[in-house]
Amino acid sequence: MVPMGAYGTWPSPIDARLAAAHDGMPEWVGVVGDEVWWTEPRPVEGGRRALMRRRPDGEAESVLPAPWNVRSRVIEYGGRPWAGAERGAEGPLVVFAHFTDQRLYAYEPNSTAAPRPLTPLSAVGEGLRWADPVVLVDRGEVWCVLEEFTGEAPTDVRRVIAAVPLDGSAAEDRSRVRELSDGRHQFVTGPRLSPDGRQAAWLAWDHPSMPWDGTEALVADVDGDGVFRRARAIAGGPEESVAQVEWTADGRLLFASDRSGWWNLYQAGPDGEAIALCAREEEFAGPLWQIGRCWFHPLENGLIAVVHGKGATALGILDPETGEVVDAAGPWTAWHCTLAVHGSRVVGVAASPRTAPEVVELDTRSGRTRVIGCGHDDPVDPAYYPEPQIRTFAGPGGREVHALLYPPHHPGRAAPADELPPYVIRVHGGPTGQAQLVLDLEIAYFTSRGIGVVEVNYGGSTGYGREYRDRLREQWGVVDVEDCAAVAKALADEGTADPRRLAIRGGSAGGWTSAASLATTDVYACATVIYPVLDLTDWSSDTGTHDFESQYMESLIGPAAEYPGRYADRSPITHAHRISAPFLLLQGLDDVICRPVQSERFLAAMAGRGIPHAFIAFEGEGHGFRRADTMIRALEAELSLYAQTFGIDRPDVPLLELKK
């Protein structure tokens, strides 16, 4: 007989240290010669990103030792931080952005020399930053996005496509950097060169649009001196989001656009006509939160590797002549927005409910897939992993709300038949983001102890078409709050969750929704609020956040000039007096997106009200926790909050002191 135990009290081998050690995923895959390269998280090494290569013998190794950190800060969320080229007998040349100083460095792995800087430092604002590079050995340059601060304010910044000499002559001389684009647009992606080198394509957009609202796909002629001329738009506009552009081997230009209501794949015709290659109510691209994301990649034989789906995603091979897509075999339910091609092989990053993100290779000739990097290795018996369910709930007005349900699960424990489990509503960030069906040991940390988790893809989430995404336009703090509450109430009404033991938690935009939910509903017994937006008026000021999202509220809340009252009315800090449930507030002190001052002001508004709460600030952490010790403390504090609020005995977890 399985031993009985109250929900939340079950013992579990998945502790916070284990969950922290497995946080993050490989990113930014690429091919250098015959080798596959990628970046990989290192939580136990201060959260750095290591550059990895897979040797011909199949062994993976770190290219650079600590403290080298291959990560860009362009638009703060970063972008593709490295590129490489094979040079025959000389071996590979790799160019990368180092997080600490944001300079571009060149590195020759086959030599004994250390990485050498290619770009200078800048004393102005946050300096010079680089992303989405293309190494052009024949030209002796690397072409990439340059983000340059022109003043001390976070919005004093310009972005252009630039050419950096590979000889290092610009390392101390900014004037040696050639600017390729004309600087008319506030945001650009890196260039994609046509096979003959005579044309370059890229994306651009301007405030107040976000890239999932409206972008332009631009094409320019490239003359013999490497100068861009006659730049013109071939797709996109204020109401059309083009998420990616690429050239085929025979010189055709492909792009992903949501003009149909879904991000589908198109070919640019010679007369300006866009030819749909696979018209489906599915997404073949996604939100451009980082510069250089890749959802499709042409192969030399004319086929196209595509990441596509509705909700869940698959890796498929699209035949542009017939519009047919053949999906790769395998257990994976979520493919990340990074692809690389070498010959007939396609490389990506994929995960499933039973496997963490892995570097996966598809041989398009045989149809076989295999894991070639970051292979999943169960750190505990997989019997402790949750068994998720894909659910659709009815929101206000009968609108669909998508969610992923993770019931409490333990191979050796059961709860009394008359007890309902506590549940945590997890709110993803963005808010233009998406929770995907993958193994997450943070979720398993709770479910294996008897606390259920449900991730809500509320209106505004990606993966379900533009109409679903646009539900949040001018409704942030309303639709997201309503959809999460609808899921929580439905779980309680159907007898899945204990209505008295519901919590909500989220980070960034999810922190906003969690705090707003406490301030405007009585659904939740407590909340965990992580690096949140709490004051829209402050966040939308000149110094409130970074440039990329500085006018995001124009679409999420409405134009400030037309609806000034909304900014205060929607803000959790305005309604702090209504909050009556305990909460945990977690904040990185180096966060330049959701700045610590908002958390400090929120705590001041709560002072003296007698509401149990805790605040933990982490030095050296920004927007998104990356260090193992931070994640351990945060996860244990979250569990302690739920244990105290839900009346669960957990003497094995450090007690979180709740102040009033």
DSSP string covering 448-465: TTT-EEEEEE-TT-SSS-
pLDDT of residue 125: 86
- Cα separation, 283 vs 200, in Å, equals 25
pLDDT of residue 127: 87
pLDDT of residue 405: 98
DSSP string, 98-117: BTTT--EEEE-TTSSPPPEE
Mean pLDDT for back-to-back runs of 10 residues, the chain (660 residues): 89 96 94 95 94 92 95 98 93 96 96 94 92 97 97 94 98 96 96 97 98 98 93 96 97 97 94 91 98 98 97 97 96 97 96 97 96 95 97 96 98 94 98 96 98 98 98 98 98 98 98 98 98 95 93 96 93 96 98 96 95 97 95 98 97 94
For residue 347, which of 331, 334, 363, 333 has the smallest C-alpha distance?
Answer: 363
530, HSE (Cβ side, Cα atoms, 13 Å)? 22
Pairing state between β 389-394 and 400-406: antiparallel
**If you ran DSSP here, which 8-state letter would residue 303 be given?**
-
- 329 and 350 Cβ atoms separated by less than 8 Å: no
Three-state SS annotation for 540-551 = CCCCCCCCCCCC
pLDDT of residue 313: 97
Q: How many CB atoms lie within 10 A of CB 119?
A: 30
Structure tokens at 154: 């976070």
**If you ran DSSP here, which 8-state letter would residue 283 be given?**
B
- Cα separation, 441 vs 426, in Å, equals 14
**If you ran DSSP here, which 8-state letter would residue 79 be given?**
B
Residue 351 backbone phi and psi in degrees, to 5: -145, 170
- 608 and 551 Cβ atoms separated by less than 8 Å: no
- Cα separation, 467 vs 427, in Å, equals 20
Domain boundaries 384-646, CATH class: alpha beta
DSSP helix, strand, coil percent of the chain (3-state; round to 5): 20, 35, 50
Cis peptide before 208 (omega within 30 of 0): yes
**Domains of the chain by residue range:** 384-646
For residue 626, which of 121, 28, 78 has the smallest C-alpha distance?
Answer: 78
**Sign for the pseudo-dihedral over CA of 491, 496, 499, 501:** negative
For residue 527, which of 583, 585, 488, 483 has the smallest C-alpha distance?
Answer: 583
- 514 and 529 Cβ atoms separated by less than 8 Å: yes
- 132 and 125 Cβ atoms separated by less than 8 Å: no
DSSP string, 360-403: EEEETTT--EEEEES----SS-GGGS---EEEEEE-GGG-EEEE
pLDDT of residue 67: 95
SS3 536: helix
CA distance readout (Å), 364 to 328, 351, 511: 9, 20, 42
**pTM for the whole thing?**
0.96
Give Cβ neighbours of residue 586 (< 8 Å, ≥ 6 apart): 507, 528, 529, 530, 531, 615, 616, 618, 625, 634, 637
10 Å CB burial of residue 41 (0-12, 13-18, 19+) is buried
Q: Which residues pair with 84 in a beta bridge?
A: 94
SS3 8: coil
- 187 and 159 Cβ atoms separated by less than 8 Å: yes
- Output Rg (C-alpha) for the chain, integer angstroms: 25
